[in-house]
Amino acid sequence: MRFGRSAAPASDSALASGAVQPGRRNARLGWRARLLAVGAAALALPIAAAVAAPTVAQANPVAAPVHRTPPGGQEELMVPSSMGPVKVQVQWARNGGNAAMLMLDGLRAREDRNAWSFETNAQEQFGNDDVTLVMPVGGQSSWYADWATPSNTNGQKFTYKWETFLTDELPAFLANYGVARDNWAVGGLSMSGPAALRLAAFHRDQFKYAAAFSGPLNWNAPGMREAIRVMMLDAGKFNVDSMAAPWSPQWLRQDPMVFAPQLRGLPMFISCGNGLPGPADNNTSPVGLFNTGNAMALEAISMVSTRSFQSRLNSLGIPATYDFPNQGTHKWQYWQDELAKARPGILAALNAG
C-alpha cells in the first residue's frame, strides 16, 4: 500500500526463539534468545549510531537549491507565483556576487524568452560582471503591475500580479541562490520603462538603481490613457480598465509624474531617441518602411513624455542621468546601445564592478 504498511507474517526466527511456541524448554530457549538479542543490540548500538544515525543535514535537508551552471552560466528557472509558475532566465554573477539586475520586457513580451536575451547583447555586456541578470518571461501588456481583475476582453483566467512577483516572490526565491534581496537594479524599455521607475520608487529597500529607455513617462498627458488602451488591445487584446479604473488610486500609482517625489536619492538613467531613423532602421522595403514609420511615431510620443518627466524631476530638484541621442526610433538596437551607457552606473550602484 502507498500510505501504509502490510502486516508482516511471523518469521522462522521468531518461531525458533519460542516466541510463538508453547512448552517449558521452548520458553527457556526463548529467554536465552532474547538475552542474546538484547546483548547483541547493546553491542551494535554504538556502531549503528555511528554509521546509520542521520546527521543534522540529513534530518533537516538544506533548502537552498543548487546551481546547475557555474558562476557566469545561464539557466532557466521556474519560479512559483500567485499567477502560476513563471519562467525566469538568469545569468549568474561572474564571481558569485549577490547583486541582481532585473531586465523587464516590452509590451509584446513572449511566453518563451525575454527579448533582452535574443534581441540584444545584454548578456555579453554583463558577461564578466559580478551581477546576476534576471529576465522574467511573459507579462504581455501587463505594465508589470498588480491588476484589479483578469482582463475581460481576452478571457484571461488569472489576475496579473507582476509587482508582487517581482518584489516579493522572485527575490525570496532567488535569495536561496545567494542573490541579496536588497541589492537590485532594474531596467525597462517602452512599456517597462515606467514600470522600472515604479518598482524602484515603491520598493527602495530592494532597488538601488533604475533605468528607463523610451518609456511613456507621463500618464496624465491628454489622450495617453486611450493610447495605452489601443496598444494593449493590439498586443493580446488586454483591457486597460481591468488593470486599473480611470483615474483611480491604482491608476495614479503607475504614473511616474505622480510618484516622482519617491525617486529622490535614487540613481537613475533615463533616455529616449528623437524618432529620426538611424543605422538600425531598415528602409529598403515596403515592410521596412512601414515598421520604421511606426517606430518613429512611438519614439516621438516617448520623447515628449520623457522630456515632460525630466521637467518634473527638475522641478523637484531630483537629479538623474539623461541621454537623448540625435537619432533613434522605437527599436531594440537603440535600447541595447543605451543599456551599454547605463551599465557603469548600474555596476557602481550595486558595488558589482
CA neighbor of 190 nearest in space, from 232, 127, 160: 232
Q: Is 330 considered catalytic here? A: yes
Q: Is 302 considered catalytic here? A: no
* Per-residue model confidence as pLDDT tens digits over 131-176: 999 999 999 999 999 999 999 999 999 999 999 999 999 999 999 9
The verdict on residue 270 lying in a domain is yes
The verdict on residue 4 lying in a domain is no
Domain identity same for 38 and 184: no
The count of domains in the chain is 2
- Measured distance CA(215)–CA(195) in Å, rounded: 9
Identify the band that residue 282 occupies on the pLDDT scale cut at 50, 70 and 90. Answer: confident
Domain identity same for 44 and 80: no
Which residue among the candidates 141, 302, 330, 338 is catalytic per the annotation?
330
Domain identity same for 214 and 301: yes
Which residue among the candidates 17, 141, 242, 299 is catalytic per the annotation?
299
| Averaged pLDDT of the chain | 86
Domain identity same for 49 and 81: no
Domain identity same for 192 and 43: no
Domain identity same for 259 and 134: yes
Q: Is 190 considered catalytic here? A: yes
Domain identity same for 149 and 295: yes
The verdict on residue 219 lying in a domain is yes
Domain identity same for 38 and 106: no
The verdict on residue 191 lying in a domain is yes
Domain identity same for 25 and 85: no
**CB neighbour burial string for 68-99, b if at least 16 within 10 angstroms, e if fewer:** eeeebeeeebebebebeebbbbbbbbbeebbb
> The domain containing residue 42 runs over which residues?
12-53
Domain identity same for 26 and 158: no
pLDDT value for 28: 41
C-alpha cell belonging to residue 169: 516572490
What values do phi and psi take at 350, rounded to 5?
A: -95, 0
What values do phi and psi take at 293, rounded to 5?
A: -60, -45
The verdict on residue 5 lying in a domain is no
* Per-residue model confidence as pLDDT tens digits over 297-314: 999 999 999 999 999 999
Report the CATH number that the domain containing residue 328 is assigned in CATH.
3.40.50.1820
Task: Please name the helix (run of DSSP H) or strand (run of DSSP E) that holds residue 187, with its range, or none.
Answer: strand 184-189
Which residue among the candidates 190, 214, 242, 271 is catalytic per the annotation?
190
- Measured distance CA(145)–CA(141) in Å, rounded: 10
